[in-house]
Structure 1
Amino acid sequence: MSEPTDPVPSADGSALHGPVARLLRPLVRLLVQRGITFPALTNLLRELYVNVAEYDFALPGKEQTDSRVSLLTGIHRKEVRRLRGAGAPVSPVPATVSRTSRIIARWLAAPDFTDPAGRPLPLPRTAEGGAPSFESLVASVTKDVRPRAVLDEWLDRGVAALDEAGRVQLLEAAYLPRGGGEPQLYYFGRNLHDHLAAAVENVVGPSPRFFERAVHYDGLSDGLAARLEERAREIAMEALKQANAEAHTACAEDAGGRHRWNFGIYIYREAVAPPGAETPDPAQVERGRTP
């Protein structure tokens, strides 16, 4: 890993203004909608600036001083002294998110719980002789919660349903929390962080390190845009299922370590105004969703 160096303002530093404004606009819309004011965001950014300068730009063998952090960030030394050591805000993984996502991932990947085509099998609640069941599925992932409690939660949230034979059927091929609650906001922060971190690494590094590509077309009709979105969803889900199956198999033989890996896909479409025309009412713009 290369040693951190002091950032040097470049002649093209202003070139970041436009891209940054564009990537922040949806975030600002969410902040305003959720009642997070500009002063509140300013306080959060001040903490982050100090934290990044303190740890990401520390020089090997040298003590990071208040003066240097102040120089790097433009924040007064008094404020730096107050904020140093506070640590960056962290979004912990909600217990229900970790548990649910791991159980679904295993149901979609483990041979005991899938049919020959790789589809999740409907599972009896219990079974004799170690046969696959919802109870054995949950127990293979966690012993900290009763399978019946997991089933009740999933039935209530529409993650699973019971068929005519009383077997448990998985309704979602992924864990998709909704409603803007803690689980959805956790994935919001994690997935966007990883995508942005990969993009930043590709920009600041000597050569692109992470795979980051997109297929994009402009000037489409409403019908074609909708069809492409639907087809993209099908392609994306197949890719995610395959990646999950291969990762699940590989993890069974892995010694373990300190790395984490994230494979994400996003799909987005919106109506845009042609050159010289009025910008469409945002309330009328159809927006895509990120899996």
Structure 2
Amino acid sequence: MHSPTPPTSLLRALRRVMRPLVRLMLRKGVTYTYFSDMLKGVFVEVAEQEFRLDANAPTDSRISLLTGVHRKDVKRLRNQPPDVADDLPAAVSLGAHLVSTWQTTAPFCTQPGEPAPLARLASTGGERSFDALVARVSKDIRARVVLDEWLRLGIARVDEHDRVHLETAAFIPQKGFDEKAAYFGHNVHDHACAAVHNLTADGLPYFERSVHYDALSPASIARLRDAVANEGMQALIAFNTLASDLEAQDAQAPDARQRVTIGLYFYSEPTSDTSPSGDASPKSPS
């Protein structure tokens, strides 16, 4: 059961967490009225799925007591299907799998982390072609369809020799807002889940650490940004290779039902004691 009075430290943290989300919503036309109704649905959904006293579904009255949502709204929200799915869209999942295979699996890479240029057609490149890459991951979609979409999103380019090059070190579309929004939801959700687990659950905590400094010049910020982009990506590629190998090893295991997200991020802004984004940060890992 929740505490009668939420901790002030938690309320302060939630307010800070919500600021960039509200900034995004205002920029994209999501009003408070729309968001508050959507948030009611999330409160009801989480209470129904995760705060049961036994195997039976909680009553509307209990969900109303837990969430503060009016019982009439609880009944309405429980009777309507959810608006969005939690999983990544199929096209995004396929794209991530293709990029991972391209980066880690011979003959599509020269070594792990170095995707090779691929002949566009199997008729000219054989097993080291974009056709073969797509066929390795899925038999249900044509390579041409994938390539056209990747060219639109800026993920791939075709050179004068009709070879396909990977333009991003991970599946991060440069142009498609819907695809980037899907990754935004996936990554921020999983990061938040790890942080919430560490605040509320017993047992082994998830790894969640950062370093933060507040007195750096723009030149130093640029140097750090480049270092994170280069060295951080190498770390992620190494984790990706290990995860790919382990998934292949676990292919026949009956308990291979766990998913994982491993992330790395970088952010910088001007330091100000009166900045709405929060207080100056300590100079240490945390």
TM-score by length of 1: 0.85
Q: How do 1:50-65 and structure 2 match up within 5 A?
A: 50-65=44-59
| Cα drift, residue 124 of structure 1 | 1.8
Q: Does 1:267 align with 2:263?
A: no
> Which of 231, 237, 244 is matched with 1:248 structurally?
244
Aligned to 2:96: 101
Aligned to 1:122: 117
Q: How do 1:82-231 and structure 2 match up within 5 A?
A: 82-86=76-80, 88-91=82-85, 92-116=87-111, 118-125=113-120, 126-127=122-123, 131-179=127-175, 181-207=177-203, 209-231=205-227
Residue by residue, what CA displacement relative to the aligned partner does 1:72-119 show, whole Å, maximum 9, x if unpaired? 112222222222254554335333212221111100010221114641
> Which of 11, 23, 38 is matched with 1:17 structurally?
11
One-letter amino acid of the counterpart of residue 127, structure 2: A
TM-score by length of 2: 0.86
CA contact (8 A) 1:124 1:166 kept: yes
CA distance in 1, matches of 2:149, 2:83: 30
One-letter amino acid of the counterpart of residue 165, structure 1: H
The 1:74–1:152 alpha-carbon spacing in structure 2 relative to 1, beyond 3 Å, is: closer
CA contact (8 A) 1:51 1:87 kept: no
Question: Root-mean-square deviation (CA), in Å?
Answer: 2.3
**Equivalent pairs, count:** 272
Q: How do 1:41-56 and structure 2 match up within 5 A?
A: 41-56=35-50
CA contact (8 A) 1:48 1:88 kept: no
CA distance in 1, matches of 2:206, 2:31: 34
CA distance in 1, matches of 2:132, 2:140: 13
Residue by residue, what CA displacement relative to the aligned partner does 1:50-88 show, whole Å, maximum 9, x if unpaired? 111122111124551122111111222222222225455
Structure 2's unaligned 5+ residue stretches are 278-286
Q: Does 1:37 align with 2:36?
A: no
The 1:78–1:121 alpha-carbon spacing in structure 2 relative to 1, beyond 3 Å, is: same
CA contact (8 A) 1:201 1:208 kept: no
Structure 1's unaligned 5+ residue stretches are 1-5, 283-291
CA distance in 1, matches of 2:81, 2:238: 37
| Cα drift, residue 131 of structure 1 | 3.3
